[in-house]
Structure 1
Amino acid sequence: MGALPAPPEGIDMFITLRISTVVLIFLGINSAFSHAMQDETSVEKPSIQLEELPKERIRLRSWIIEGRAIAALPDLNSYLALFPENGALHLLKGEALYALERFEDSASSFSRGVELDPGKLGELFNYGRCLQSLDRYEEALEVFLSMQSRSDTSLQVRGYFGEGLSRQSLGNIEEAKRLYQKALTLNPSFDRARYRLALILLDDSPDEALSMLNRVHISDPLHHGGAYNKALALRNLQRMDDAQKALARYQQILAGRSRIALLKERWAMTPNETSILLELGRVYRSLGVTGESLRWFARAGGLAPNDPEPAIETLRTLILAQRRAEALQLVQRLKSTPLYAAAKDQIEDLLKPPTEEE
């Protein structure tokens, strides 16, 4: 088992969405994909006033955070056609393009945004990460050093972490280690630095690396790099049975993340299709990520308030997570709604105590 290369850091706000044209064609939504990726010169100009832009930026930023960057691009292009000198729009487009791994285009948008609003340079972690993805490490260092000079501790932390990534890529492992430790000193819960530091310690200090990877796994149960390298640390400690279990968990996470990515690609194009939201909840539940599972079921319930399926899946998830008190509270609330009559038999089956065989 060889060391797993550290996976690329996702979009700083939440998660990187990988878009595959082949997958989108296979799913029958290539026309929507083509529309979202349309040429900037051919976009329609919507009717919007300058004072409305802050609200629109919040909306589009939330889409990017949710993994719907591809759906945000047409609106960003339209608004930029109206307001080409608006730096905030260029920066937000840079975030969307970064999430889609279109790094050259992303760097151009970030660069234009900083040109229009130089004061933002020290706030743009993903601009630095984008430059690193293009092997432009020295330019990335300018971004991260600017972040370190800010008064906001969270910006400083990411600045030290980003510089550590650049130093490590340039071969200065000891300096990278120092910078990751500096980031953790400022914010002990900053697991991105903890993970990178664990990889450096993996061979020489597997016990310490394992402790760090366990903490990463607690905060992010689907961190596939953490799962794989936990198996590697256990192997280095000659704990072979535990290493095999950790490797099996890694393979489960990898398959689950692949399924989630496909579902989110579909959801980005059809955000009101409740079947996709329900399936996302089920996949997260199968991976043991209860909170995220419940979030997707709640979202489905909000879109389809008369459909009992989201409530049934929520109830099933709470019971499987051994949160029976919350499950009973949910049932009491359902009894005052038409959903209960529609799903009474299923609800009563779920509430039955498990048999001895189970």
Structure 2
Amino acid sequence: MKAMRDSLTAKYYNIKECSTKFFTLICGLLLITAVTGCQRKSNFKINPLTFDIDSVGQGKVKFIKGLSLINLSIPNERISYIDKLYSTDKYIIIFDKYSSRVSVFDHRGKHLRDIGTPKSSLGEKPVINDVNFYEETNEVEIFSLPERKLKIYDLEGTLKREISSKYDFLTMHKTKDGYWVYGCFESNIKRSLFTFTRNKSNLLLLSEDLQSIKESYCESENFYDRLNSNDNFHTNSRGELYFNYGFSDIIYRIEGKDVQPAIYLNYGLEKLPYDHLKTITNRKEFDDEVYTSKQLYPGYKTRLQIGDSHISFISSYYTFGFSDQYSVICSMIDGKMKLSGISAVTKQPLLSNPVGISNGKMFFMINPLTLNAEDKEMLNANYDVEPTEFSTLLFYTDEKNVI
């Protein structure tokens, strides 16, 4: 059985030869100057490690061990995608943004309940922009930007309280200092006794009642690089808090009220021309420079995940058309970055990019509708599971097994 499981992993982590036109990925700890920094400026030093994808090698690469499987199932309904995942000793909490659904499962995959109201009074799905779960309080926070409202539930689905926000933001994370938010909107006006200032910052620290701006960070000259995703804030089992936004190649570490660059994903000569982009005030000019210029920029990153010892994301070119996508996983060992593996997402590997890293475990999602007969037979033989059209297969393993 172990051999079969290993073959399952190896089969779908076959690293293909990448085009030399793709990119050289440099992952490193950012110790001194960032390409784009926060408002609180410091002197930083970059000490990068360089990884050329073409030098990684070809053939079958097996770097994930000890995979376990949970068959998530909601009666007569399908999970579109897992945009956020939290795992505790008892529960798995997932956020499916497309379906506007927050669901709680046990570790056998049984659907226990949904959190929040699945439909509005008009019968329409509510817009859910972000979801957070805090294990220390067992509370789930659900934020809707159109309503400017944050709702807090317990894991039984009981609404405990609501907070109306004075400001617009896409994602958030609560600390003892207030709410950190990806508040990249000029409408977020900071007021003082005699003046008011339109917001030019991507990262805001709001008061706990969401009624005032306490601090502003990561200033931007324009907001054309705003991305509506759910991979801005990340925490690991050590309680470390990270932030990444828009098209930035910087991952910031938040400690107290201090925000500092922590990790630099450097695409070398092919990185975006940040200094020039800051001067653009016309949307069409910005799009022409980033998406349709003769120079292709490969640093478009989505599905960012940060754990105790790993970083993962999907990388592709900035383009309006089709672009190959690559799942990149780096491990952080002794303060250094090491490339664990790269696989072509477009080749449909069984396990592509993690959908979550929670409490030291890395999770991968499989939609059974994408499996062929051979895949289904192998899964049934090795994991004693026969997925239905409504199943979502969730593989997981300890981070230390991803090497």
TM-score (normalised: structure 1): 0.28
Which of the two has greater strand per residue? Answer: 2
Report the structure number with the largest CA radius of gyration. Answer: 1
Q: Which has the higher contact order (CA 8 A, sep 6+)?
A: 2
Which of the two has greater helix per residue? Answer: 1
